[in-house]
Amino acid sequence: MKLRFILNAGIQLMVLSVAGFSLSGFAAPQTNADWSAYLGNKGRSLYSPLRQITRTNVTQLAVAWTYDTGDKGEYQANNLIINGVLYTATPNRKVIALNAATGQELWKWNPAAERSGSGGGRQRGLVYWQAASGGEQSLFTAVGNYLFALNPKTGDPIRAFGENGSIHLGTGLDAETLLNVGLNTPGVIHKDLLIIGGLGGPGAVRAFDVRTGKLGWIFHLIPRPGDVGYETWPKDAYKTATGLMPWSGQSLDEKRGIVYIATKTAEPDFYGGDRHGMNLFANCLVALDANTGKRLWHYQIVHHDLLDKDLPCPPVLLTVKHNGKKVDAVAQGTKHGMIFVFDRVTGIPLWPIEEKPVPQSDLRGEKAWPTQPFPTKPAPLMRQSYGEGDISITSPEAKAMTLDRLRASPNFGPFPAPSLNETIMLPGFDGGMEWGGGAADPDGMYYVNVNEIPWIVQMVETRHADGSALVRGEREYMLYCAPCHGLDKTGNLAGGFPSLIDVIKRRPRDQIAQLTRQGAGRMPAFDQIPEAQRDAILDYVLGDAPPSASRREEGLGAPSAVPDKLPPYAFGGFRRWLDSEGYPAIKPPWGTLNAVDLNTGEIKWKVPLGEYAKLKALGMPATGTENYGGPVVTAGGLIFIGATADETIRAFDKDTGAILWQSPLPFGGNATPSVYMVNGRQYVVISAGGGKSGRPAGGKLAAFALPMRTAMP
């Protein structure tokens, strides 16, 4: 930070300048302000110090330019802007560079030209590195099982990185073969190291040399003998256990050299009979030495998780005033709508965290953990239970039907024990908070959007009611596929899971098999499934094996030869609970935006986020909608957020939660906006791809700015 003086009309103005742009409210000509890291900075605070767009002029905000990527899907990229160039990762994992002031395409990199082939599935951003000397630069992206380094000026692969421009993401995981590991959330740069998590494989955090791609260090999240946490698993669990991979991102205290990791659930998600114990470092916030990977401290937010409560967003670094003293803190949001806040150096909670009893499982072989942590502050940002006062109000019929189902399938709070009995799950599987994360300003305020939608949770036995074994492939399907594609194979389009009925008409068998190995879209790689089991699943899905009943009656072949070590239960599938009108089966709000003062731990305000035109026309107040993607808070006093199921981007007053501006988007803005300045003009840009909540899908960018006469002094 520096002070500089400007002579303007004979008056000497003192202007505070940070990173080359004005904080005075007057844009200086030829000034740029970058958005050079995922979620704005390495602390993932989603804060912009730009203040050209303010509460008083935001109503003049208009479309500055748009760009169509030509791809279609869940376009979730938080875009980078560096030296006037915008870099985006498209729904099909192309990388495109645009003039950030005009949207004019500069170059496009298509992964289909590389050995990984074309890419598919959500990608939330890129990583930019520049050498301390200011010379070398790299742009990192992931496609399939590979991490690529690109030249930011041309889009060409940097062939000196790894093997001809890429490294396999299974590198360094101590497996006999290279495992299929993906990456949907970008890593973070510390000096000349790229620190990443991933999807698939055994849990690990790794750092790679940005120039060569060589492994710098690894921290194993499933402890080895002698490691902290080894006793929280069955003996030698690290040899066979999977999961824990930190997919949601990391944050970095660059000055102290500490990287903060938010980890995933151990697998299988819903039955833990083969992984008794607390299961460190699953569902943990872990602080590591960014230079060496050494553990500094950790806190487990969910013990022995049975409900897919992986930590869904990166930790947020901020500074608060706590008990009269400034404290550098780290805040972690959760799917059950809670915020855990710690001193980022010591790991000591800012407010006490209580262990409270939770329901226990009646599944044979399961040992649910008897208690779970609950922070005493801040209060939960959503309802923690569903009672008769929460039933649907969209119509008399919906009200009656939700009441009947609630009485048959009661809710047991945020930690219902998985059971053969159907239970209402609130908080739901998609939050509470989701991968968009929270924004924090220098005043210690934290802003975050939350889902408040009920789901249904139920386990099923992996044998028929008469005790007979399932046909070959049926049980494996229940274990690996039914959670997303449904027990009846009909899928869940609202959740992004396609139907598998008649899938052979859309893809040949060998291509389907390859997709199960490498992963695609929301599906991780299942490369650790033995090929015999994979073939059995394909037989069952594609109809190459007779139904179980007819097989037994006709004596056709042996029943499923599934190893006894596989779980006796399978998850019944991810099912949102919708009422008879097609809306969430709960009294609104269904989605909210929240402001929390982390100096005091108090919730400052809560407002609905999004609305449905049909309900609005009926006179119903804003209900909020299911939302994916995060907020950005600015020094101009605004919060910008898309996220909703109504194809709209909005600006809120950060002090009151009032909506000050909104604009339609071509598709749902299920991404986090980026805020930047080029040539003295401030922009807000968002990836609009839709595809969530059953909405239309595309792949466009939309950038907004004030009219030139307003933006320029």
Residue 100 near residue 86, CB atoms below 8 Å: yes
Residue 13 pLDDT: 31
Residues of the chain with pLDDT under 50: 1-30, 546-563
Three-state DSSP class for 205?
strand
Identify each DSSP E strand in 323-444 by its residue range.
325-333, 339-343, 353-357, 371-375, 423-425, 438-440
The 3-class secondary structure across 10-61, one letter per residue, is CEEEEEEEECCEECCCCCCCCCCECECCHHHCCCCCCEECCCCCCCCCHHHC
Helix segments in 91-229, DSSP class H: none
CATH superfamily entry for domain 463-566: Cytochrome c-like domain (1.10.760.10)
- Structure tokens belonging to residue 510: 């060998």
Is 665 buried (19+), middle (13-18) or exposed (0-12) by CB count in 10 A?
A: buried
Structure tokens at 201: 């494989």
State how far the Cα of 134 lies from the Cα of 157, in Å rounded to an integer: 19
Q: Fold for domain 58-113+123-384+426-453+588-711? A: Methanol Dehydrogenase; Chain A (2.140.10)
d(CA 346, CA 355): 20
- Inter-residue contact 161 to 211 (CB < 8 Å): yes
Residues 687, 426, 266, CA angle at the centre, nearest 5°?
Answer: 75
Question: Exposure of 134 by Cβ count < 10 A (0-12 exposed, 13-18 middle, 19+ buried)?
Answer: exposed
In the chain, domain spans: 1-29, 58-113+123-384+426-453+588-711, 463-566
pLDDT of residue 566: 65
Nearest one of 641, 627, 614 to 692, comparing CA atoms: 627
What pLDDT score was predicted for residue 525? 66
Beta carbons of 513 and 503 less than 8 angstroms apart: no
Burial class (CB in 10 A: 0-12, 13-18, 19+), 576: buried
Alpha-carbon 447 to chain mean position: 16
Q: Is 260 exposed, middle or buried (0-12, 13-18, 19+ CB in 10 A)?
A: buried
Inter-residue long-range contacts of 377-380, CB under 8 Å, 24+ positions, other chains counted: 377/341, 377/350, 377/351, 377/601, 377/602, 378/338, 378/339, 378/341, 378/351, 378/596, 378/598, 378/601, 378/602, 378/603, 379/603, 380/336, 380/337, 380/338
Maximum distance among all Cα pairs of the chain, rounded to whole angstroms: 98
Residue 375 pairs in a beta bridge with 353
State the pLDDT at residue 668.
Answer: 97
Integer-rounded Cα Rg, in Å, for the chain is 25
Separation CA 64–CA 705 (nearest Å): 6
Residue type, 132: A
Place of tokens 């944050």: 251
**From residue 220, how far is each of 259, 525, 529 by CA, in Å?**
15, 20, 22
Strand partners, 385: none
Q: How far is CA 453 from the centre of its chain?
A: 17
Strands 632-634 and 47-48: parallel
674, 701 in Cβ contact below 8 A? no
Contact 291, 257 (CB under 8 A): yes
The pTM of this model reads 0.87
